[in-house]
Amino acid sequence: MRAKIIVNPSSGKQAVQKNLPEIVSALVLDNTITSTSVFYTQKKDDAYNEVKKIKKDEYDLIIAAGGDGTLNEVVNGIIESKSDTPIAILPAGTVNDFSNFLGISKDVAAFSQMIRDYKIIDSDVGKIGNKYFINVAAGGLLTDIGYKVSVDAKTVMGKFAYYAQGMIDLPQQIFKSIDVIFETQKRRVEQKDCIMFMVSNTPSVGGFKKISPHAKINDNKLDVFIIHKPEFGQVLPLFIQILKGEHTNNSKITYFQTNKVTISCNNVEDFYIDIDGEQGETLPITIETVPKAVKFIVPK
């Protein structure tokens, strides 16, 4: 197999990236990989610009060594290139929501075996304008933590860097609400007391493994999850329910599935949303599903 390798050297778990030469050596020695081309990113959009140049049938797989932001760029590059090259994620970020959902191991032997087995699945993506996301678009409470925390803090502190920033921001944000309107072909939801919303492709968002418990990556649907402003005594019980995936019937949650939704905001100007852990567009936006847009190599 011919492999294109994209490495983000500033991703949170640099120890994982150090496993990459051992993985590649093992796969070259047993003739699983016959040729490689390695590209190291230096700044935002480097991975996207490199991957979008790939031609159809030029490579048999792309190994993306990085976090959710790197994966987002690779996915956008693949769709732009129309090469349909399968992606193997080597999870080296701080959270790695999408790869955790797929059950991809960081272990050298397990990851190498996954490449040898070459089991491929199709995945939907979300589309906003001419950009795509693989996991989530979100707005409101704590959704900006992914790009507020510095690269150095992620490298040194790992997930605790997010928790620390969350503890700083939570008291300031928990009771601030926004007036948001969600419109689909079948419904219109105006939520005047929204504190956070997510439109997700998988159940796993921000380290919460069951936040959208009915989500599937190949059902041609996106899961819309809205949290209403809770009373003071409801905050802790609500977050415990979210951790357990038992929150969808809570009166402070609105949850539904759709293949297209338009989101607008009435009371905040320049309201930015987070897209796969990076700062994205401002409201209003229209999000729709693109079915089976990319392929992933997953454990057998």
> Which stretches within the chain are classed as H helix?
14-17, 20-29, 46-51, 68-81, 97-102, 108-117, 145-148, 151-157, 159-173, 235-244
CA 112 to chain CA centroid, nearest Å: 23
**Architecture category of domain 2-117 in CATH:** 3-Layer(aba) Sandwich (3.40)
Structure tokens at 36: 């490689």
What integer pLDDT is reported at residue 58 of this predicted model?
A: 97
| CA dist., res. 33 & res. 24, Å (int) | 8
Q: What is the mean pLDDT of residues 265-270?
A: 82
Q: Among residues 58, 73, 190, 278, which one is catalytic? A: 278
Q: pLDDT at position 158, please?
A: 45
Q: Confidence band (pLDDT; 50, 70, 90) for 153?
A: very low
Task: Check if 50 is active-site.
Answer: no
Question: What is the mean predicted confidence (pLDDT) over 251-276?
Answer: 89
More confident: 250 or 263: 263
Q: What is the pLDDT of residue 155?
A: 46
Split at pLDDT 50, 70, 90, the class of 294 is very high
Residue 163 — very low, low, confident or very high, per pLDDT cuts 50/70/90?
A: very low
Tell me the average pLDDT of the chain: 85
Instruction: Give pLDDT tens digits for 203-218.
Output: 888 777 888 888 999 9
What CA dihedral angle connects 207, 16, 101 and 109, to 10 degrees? -150
For the residues 27-44, what does the mean pLDDT come to?
Answer: 95
For the domain bounded by 136-291, which CATH number is listed?
Answer: 2.60.200.40
Average pLDDT over residues 226-236: 76
pLDDT surpasses 50 at 137: yes
What integer pLDDT is reported at residue 143 of this predicted model?
53
Long-range contacts (CB closer than 8 Å, 24 or more residues apart) made by 183-189? 183/261, 183/262, 183/263, 183/264, 184/256, 184/258, 184/260, 184/261, 184/262, 185/258, 185/260, 186/258, 187/256, 189/226, 189/254, 189/256
Higher-confidence residue of 4 and 252: namely 4
Q: Please spell the DSSP secondary structure of 187-255, one letter per residue.
A: -EEEEEEEEEEEEESSS-BTTBTTSSTT--TTSS-EEEEEEEPPPGGGHHHHHHHHHHT--TTSTTEEE
Residue 168, pLDDT score: 42
State the first-to-last Cα distance of the chain, in angstroms, to the nearest integer: 18
Q: How confident is residue 174, by pLDDT bands cut at 50, 70 and 90?
A: low
**For the chain, domain boundaries:** 2-117, 136-291
Q: Which of 141-150, 189-198, 254-263, 271-280 has the highest mean pLDDT?
A: 254-263
